[in-house]
Amino acid sequence: MARCWLEIDPNALVANARLLRRAVPVGAALMAVVKAEAYGHRAVEVVQLLKDEIEFFAVANVEEAMALRTLIDPERIFVMSALLTDELALLVEQGFITWISSLREAQLINDLAATHGRRAAVHFKIDTGMGRLGVLPDQAEDLFRRSLELENLELTGIATHLPVADEDEAATDRQLDQFERLVDSLRAAGFDGHWVQACNSAGSLRHPVGNLFRFGLSLYGESPVDEPVGLQFPLTWKAAVVAVRDIPKGHPVSYGSTWRAPRPTRMAVLGVGYADGYPRALSNTDARVLIHGVSCPLLGRVTMDQIMVDITDHPRVAVGEEAVLLGPGGDDRIRARELAERSNTIAWEIFTNVSRPRVDWFFLSLTSEPAAPTPLVAKSLR
């Protein structure tokens, strides 16, 4: 029997993909971010499920891209991170897409493509404020013109990245205004590629600019913006009750004795800990799990392999039953955002931390037609 496992509802993933399609301009394409095992949802299965719903799939490195190469055409796989020379060689050999931020990258990809007798498709990335990858705006036209001279390089897109689309609307507007001006100037300088990509989930829902939109967090049911968007929650993280104990008033629980029972307490021990991705930072917070749909508070510190929860008011809990750590349970649900706020992190980290070797995984059945999504409510500022 599994002690700790994930259940993935493919119907919710399909419904989310179709809902997000409605958030972007008609005729635009979607890019599903499936790096880090599709945020814990298993990349191969997600791509297999959504390959007829979504045009592109984004990964972090060539190793992740290679895992998808038998499922979809390589020109639909976009590698988003900076790459080492041997990674670039494999990328060009396989025909995956990436972006370029420097003349060195452009020349290297061009030379590698020449050895294979082909042209390598790349997107030209501009750093409008992320400060991670991309050419600076005042250097963009010069690098672009130099890249155009490389005969084995095909500039099929222009890209940027939004760092505060979920936090600072004014700054994001300024960033996108600058990006759109740069796209216009590069078109005047000879850019004839089709794709313009700038928006992550938050940007796509609030500032839909371009014709290629990257969706990560929202595809997996968590909106990075406050507006309700009707997303479904595909992932449920569960753990088994491995012990039930009664402890007297004043008895300590877990390392450091940071929690002591204020009353005679019935406690359930669950087979999950920080080695499985359950954040230790949730120790001594208002974190909870759901058992039989009822909220049960976490007790004391999270340990490596187990956590303890209070079931005093819900005593009909038995060994072998399941607790929901993340996702829906009865009429309630625990969101990744809830766990993130209580552990002082972000929802992205909550999702990606659960893809650990000790966490079992189950993909549920796909119905013939996923349930229709609820009405979309997205905020466009442009």
Catalytic residues: 35, 255
| Bridge partners (DSSP) listed for residue 274 | none
Query: DSSP 3-state assignment of 204?
Result: helix
Query: DSSP 3-state assignment of 4?
Result: strand
Let me know the angle formed at the C-alpha of 153 by 78 and 129, rounded to the nearest 5 degrees: 55
Contacting residues for 234 by C-beta, under 8 A, at least 6 apart: 8, 9, 10, 12, 13, 16, 41, 220, 221
Strands 252-253 and 288-291: unpaired
Q: What is the rounded CA–CA span in Å between residue 367 and residue 10? A: 9
The 3-state secondary structure of 245-265 reads EEECCCCEECHHHCEECCCCE
Residues 221, 36, 213, 127, CA torsion sign: positive
Q: What is the rounded CA–CA span in Å between residue 336 and residue 288? A: 12
Q: What is the rounded CA–CA span in Å between residue 345 and residue 250? A: 32
Contacting residues for 289 by C-beta, under 8 A, at least 6 apart: 239, 270, 295, 296, 298, 307, 309, 323, 324, 325, 334
Q: What is the rounded CA–CA span in Å between residue 5 and residue 25? A: 38
Contact 288, 297 (CB under 8 A): yes
> The tokens of 10 are what?
């493919």
